[in-house]
Structure 1
Amino acid sequence: MSFFGDLPEPVDDRAEILRARPQRYPGVPTDWIRAVTLPWSRTLGEGAEVLVALDRVRCWPDGVSLDIDVFAKHAIVDVRRMGGLWGHSHGVPRSPGELLLGIRYADGQRVSTVDELPPGTDRLRMSAYGGSGSPFHFRYEFYMSPLPPEGPVSIVVRWLDKDLPETVTDLDGAAIREAAANAVEVWPDLPPA
């Protein structure tokens, strides 16, 4: 007898959805790749009433994702304004005092939450692809592509409304590239798209 008892046989009334391996991964390839996570948890910036931290770095074959945590001592009533990191996607206009995030690669490429890049651009791009939280804590998930070159990857944060000055934290681009080379395609036997 199974631990779960006698369960009825499931009825599969869904049509089979066929998958194919994409030629290129548009955005974060969470459906296709098991990323390598670097445990680089650190404070990115701190004010009297807020703290911005890097929780983890996930390395993919074509890019890198950062999980950024924002902690607030007092409730931030309008979570959409908890930084403006989502930019215009929530219809909230930007102000210089909002939380701003930027990335600079060792070769001089840079991108920030202030930039508006057209789709399909070949230069460094960053997109917010997830997030959740409360008025006291919010997690943002960002994806940058392409992978950084060797050398420092600078994360720049600033939140003037919360007395958090512009602060720069460097990560190791070579370590990110090495980890990305070890990311695993989950279904390599799928036919190409």
Structure 2
Amino acid sequence: MEFFEPLPPESEFEPSPRRAREPWEQPDFVLPGTVAQHILLLRTDTAAVSLGSIRAYPTGFEFTVHARRRPSAAPTHGRDRLAWSRGLEGGRGGLRLGLLFADGRRATNDGFPHAGWGEVGDSVHFIGQGGGASENSWDGGFWVHPLPPEGPLAFFATWPDQGVDEVSAVIDAAVVRLAAADAVELWPEDEEWTDEGRSTYRTVSVSVPDPGPDEDPARAPGGEN
């Protein structure tokens, strides 16, 4: 007697319709180029956040956030902010992240403002890819579309529960663009994919005009932490 029941004949399976890929989505059939750079975004006596594993594609890049907290620094109110680490979804004291392109476009993980459902335009799409957490550590990935323009690429963080108002770190976007040039397309997207069930990810991004003369220099790329 066999444990598993026989599978039905293949002809009885109904394949799910395959949808067309949104222009801002991360491609499936591309091996990314790698940026050999590690960014220590913040480090205090009680907390640290770093960015690493930057991998670039022709249409954008992904990276991993590593957040750590001393056990003695855990908040005594509300739920565990570090385990959620999703901006305002985790509470107003939680870890918030953002980035700023050289042309003034910016995006955050707050969940608002956002570019809508499937909109592209000139917006920066900053999309969480999930992650894992323990009581005092969190590792999570993000996808960013499009590639940053030439110039400084600034990453921002604030973590009120850990006494961090706002910090930033800047890299040259050229390293991301050069890595994207090394990406390898394995197969073309299937031209027969349909529009049925098109993606409805809610993006967390916003387009903004160029900074004005009164812009705080500490918030611009290259500004002070």
TM over 0.5: yes
Are 1:155 and 2:155 matched, yes or no? yes
Q: Where do 5+ consecutive residues of structure 2 fail to align?
A: 1-6, 193-225
* 3-state SS in 1 of match to 2:102: coil
Aligned to 2:94: 98
Once the two structures are superposed, residues 115-163 of structure 1 have per-residue CA deviations (whole angstroms, 9 ceiling, x without a partner) of 3311214211201012113112211111111110000100011112102
**1:126 aligned partner:** 126
CA distance in 2, matches of 1:26, 1:150: 19
State, as a whole percentage, how many aligned pairs show the same letter: 26
Q: How far apart in 1 are the matches of 2:185 and 2:15?
A: 19
The Cα of 1:84 is off from its aligned counterpart by: 5.3
**Candidates 96, 113, 118, aligned match of 1:116:** 113
TM-score using structure 2 length:
0.67
8 Å contact kept, 2:31–2:186? yes
Aligned-pair CA distance for 1:12: 10
Q: Deviations over 1:33-84 (max 9, x none)?
A: 11112121131012221100112211011111120100112175845x2175
Q: Quote how far apart the aligned CAs of 1:86 are.
A: 2.6
Secondary structure of the 1:108 match is coil
Give the conservation status (yes or no) of the 8 Å contact 1:35–1:180.
yes
8 Å contact 1:106–1:150 — kept in the other structure?
yes
Q: Quick one: which of 46, 51, 65 aligns to 1:49? A: 46
* 1:94-117, Cα deviation, whole Å (9 max, x unpaired): 41x321111000000011122331
Unaligned runs of 5+ in 1: 1-10
Change (3 A) 1:26 1:42: closer
Q: Whole-Å Cα distance in 2 between the matches of residues 121 and 24 of structure 1?
A: 9
Q: Which amino acid aligns with 2:174?
A: A
Partner AA of 1:27 in structure 2:
E
1:22-33 aligned at under 5 Å gives the runs: 25-29=23-27, 31-33=28-30
